[in-house]
Amino acid sequence: EKFRDGLTKTRDSFSGKVNDLVARYRKVDEDFFEELEEILIQADVGFDTVMELIDQLKYEVKRRNITDTAEVQTVISEKLVDIYNSGENQTSTLNIQDNALTVILFVGVNGVGKTTTIGKLAHKFITEGKSVFLAAGDTFRAGAIDQLEVWGDRVGAPVIKQAEGSDPAAVMFDAIQAAKSRNADILLCDTAGRLQNKVNLMKELEKVKRVIEREIPGAPHEVLLVLDATTGQNALIQAKTFKEATDVTGIVLSKLDGTAKGGIVLAIRNELKIPVKFVGLGERMDDLQEFDPEKYVYGLFA
Ligand code: GDP
């Protein structure tokens, strides 16, 4: 249900166009595929991914002897799921430690929905009975610490912070001590999101990671990159930069509800080879869903 609701804009645009295409073309031919290609590109599926999908569709159509365009529609859904699931490492499950502190680092540029995602995920864990601490590691952006505290209050998670402008690595150190001494299950760490200077970004993330690793061997257990679905191909460019700066283990795609171009999920998966672990489907605390390719593709058409 959540997926269906969150994908309304994409579905209205995408499946509307596909239905119209199928109605106009009775027979599957080269022109049909060309128009389909255009629809997929407009939905932000990404050029390489579209080419792969079209190739696979043509192959399937030939293999199964499909001539009717209506039949192609089901093959499109199948292939979209296949493309998402292809390759390794597609699981959306988080690496959570049993009976030990799990540290999750959040990275991403300002405004993508990082703080909101941390709040939502904290809420999800707390609902499951886990105790959650938040680390206010974005000491750079004015208001970032306050904003995290608002979420901390809302969901009932203590926020470990220092003054604006302080060293994020020192905040992480404090947060780990606090979380450990109170036997917390999960520590969610915010970080600053300036991309203007890639060298600084890398240095800061490296330092933060080093402190976390030193305090807890094997941590951070996840490095989640938050991307804003409404920024389309720009999100892909951001992802490439962060991938170079640090080892990203998963993606959270926020604001999927706010775009008609929800095909970006497939482009991210296919071009970056990093699994999309969660999608944001609204601004409220329960508007975060574990990503499920089948539900997603179903939501595109149903
Ligand atoms: P940050 O700067 O990366 O920490 O971004 P914020 O968490 O402050 O989010 C920026 C804006 O995006 C806020 O107004 C959020 O309410 C909004 N937002 C975040 N996630 C979602 C989402 O999944 N859907 C929608 N519609 N809005 C979102």
Chunked in runs of 10, what are the mean pLDDT values of the chain (302 residues)?
A: 87 90 91 95 90 94 91 89 77 91 96 96 98 96 95 98 96 98 98 80 90 97 97 90 91 95 88 92 95 88 74
- Can you tell me the distance from the alpha carbon of 89 to that of 73, in angstroms, rounded to the nearest whole number? 28
The enclosing H or E element of 99 equals none
- Can you tell me the distance from the alpha carbon of 256 to that of 261, in angstroms, rounded to the nearest whole number? 8
Q: Which numbered atom of ligand 1 lies nearest the CA of 288?
A: 23
Q: Are 110 and 194 in contact (CB under 8 A)?
A: yes
Q: Which numbered atom of ligand 1 lies nearest the CA of 116?
A: 7
Nearest CA to ligand 1 atom 19: 113
Looking at residue 135, its pLDDT comes to: 98
Q: Residue 77 is encoded by which pair of tokens?
A: 């859904």
Look up tokens 């407009």; give the residue.
Answer: 42
Q: Residue 242 is encoded by which pair of tokens?
A: 């962060």
Calculated CA dihedral for residues 36, 42, 46, 52, nearest 10 degrees: 0
Looking at residue 89, its pLDDT comes to: 64
CA of 253 to the centre of ligand 1 (A): 11
Q: Residue 204 is encoded by which pair of tokens?
A: 């800061």
- Can you tell me the distance from the alpha carbon of 92 to that of 250, in angstroms, rounded to the nearest whole number? 8
Nearest CA to ligand 1 atom 20: 113
- Can you tell me the distance from the alpha carbon of 272 to that of 165, in angstroms, rounded to the nearest whole number? 33
Q: Which numbered atom of ligand 1 lies nearest the CA of 287?
A: 23
* 255 three-state secondary structure: coil
- Which residues are annotated as part of the binding site for GTP? 108-115, 190-194, 254-257
Which residue from 116, 190, 194 has its CB within 8 A of the most atoms of ligand 1, so it is best to mutate? Answer: 116
Q: Are 104 and 186 in contact (CB under 8 A)?
A: yes
Cis bond before residue 220 (omega within 30° of 0): yes
DSSP E strand boundaries for 209-249: 222-228
- Can you tell me the distance from the alpha carbon of 130 to that of 142, in angstroms, rounded to the nearest whole number? 30
The enclosing H or E element of 289 equals strand 288-290
Is the ipTM beyond the 0.90 threshold?
Answer: yes
Looking at residue 196, its pLDDT comes to: 65
Which residue from 189, 194, 283, 284 has its CB within 8 A of the most atoms of ligand 1, so it is best to mutate? Answer: 283
Q: Phi and psi at residue 23, in whole multiples of 5°? A: -70, -35
CA of 111 to the centre of ligand 1 (A): 7
Which residue from 254, 265, 284 has its CB within 8 A of the most atoms of ligand 1, so it is best to mutate? Answer: 254
Looking at residue 86, its pLDDT comes to: 79
Largest Cα–Cα distance of the chain, in whole Å? 67
Ligand 1 site residues (CB inside 6 A) read 108, 110-116, 147, 254-255, 257-258, 280-283, 287
Handedness of CA 107, 113, 119, 123 (dihedral sign): negative
Nearest to 219 by CA among 253, 188, 251, 178: 188
Q: Are 279 and 253 in contact (CB under 8 A)?
A: yes
pTM (whole model) above 0.90: yes
Q: Which numbered atom of ligand 1 lies nearest the CA of 111?
A: 2
Look up tokens 């269906």; give the residue.
Answer: 4
For 178-190, give one letter per residue: b (16+ CB within 10 A) or e.
bbeeeebbbbbbb
Q: Which numbered atom of ligand 1 lies nearest the CA of 258?
A: 26
- Which residues are annotated as part of the binding site? 108-115, 190-194, 254-257
Looking at residue 15, its pLDDT comes to: 87
